[in-house]
Amino acid sequence: MFKALVLDKSPEFNAALREVDDSFLPDGDVLVAIDYSTLNYKDGLAITNRSPVVRSWPMVAGIDGAGTVLESSHAAWRAGDRVVLNGFGVGETHKGCLAQRARLKGDWLVRLPEAFSPRQAMSIGTAGYTAMLSVLALERHGLKPGDGEVLVTGATGGVGSVAVALLSRLGYHVVAATGKASEAPYLQSLGAERVIDRAELSAAGKPLQKERWVAAVDAVGSHTLVNACAQVRYGGAVTACGLAQGMDLPGTVLPFILRGVALLGVDSVMAPLALRQEAWSRLAADLDPRLLESITTELPLSGAISAARDLMDGKVRGRIVVRTTGD
Tell me, what's the pLDDT at 327? 64
User: Sorting pLDDT into bands at 50, 70 and 90, what band is 44?
Assistant: very high
pTM of the model: 0.93
Query: How far are the Cα atoms of 43, 203, 206, 246 from residue 221, in angstroms, in the given order?
Result: 18, 12, 16, 6
How distant is the alpha carbon of residue 290 from its chain centre? 19
Q: How many CB atoms lie within 10 A of CB 260?
A: 13
Beta-carbon count within 10 A of 140 CB: 10
285-314 pLDDT per residue, tens:
999 888 898 889 999 999 999 999 999 998
The residues spanned by each domain of the chain are: 2-112+289-323, 126-265
Of the given ranges (263-272, 275-284, 288-297), which has the lowest mean pLDDT? 288-297
DSSP H stretches of helix in 158-221: 158-169, 184-190, 199-202
Question: pLDDT digits over 229-267, tens only?
Answer: 999 999 999 999 999 999 999 999 999 999 999 999 999
- The whole-number average pLDDT for the span 65-80 is 98
Instruction: Report how far residue 194's alpha carbon sits from residue 212's, in angstroms, rounded to the nearest whole number.
Output: 13
Has residue 51 got a pLDDT over 90?
A: no
Contact 203, 225 (CB under 8 A): no
Mean pLDDT, rounded, of the chain: 96
Over residues 188-239, the pLDDT tens digits come to 999 999 999 999 999 999 999 999 999 999 999 999 999 999 999 999 999 9
Rg (CA), the chain: 19
Question: What gap in Å lies between CA 86 and CA 108, rounded to an integer?
Answer: 8
Pick the CATH number of 126-265 from 1.10.3720.10, 3.40.50.150, 3.40.50.720, 1.10.10.200: 3.40.50.720
Look at residue 17 and tell me whether its pLDDT is greater than 70: yes
The topology (CATH level 3) of 2-112+289-323 is Quinone Oxidoreductase; Chain A, domain 1 (3.90.180)
- H/E run at residue 24: none
CA distance 287 to 19: 36
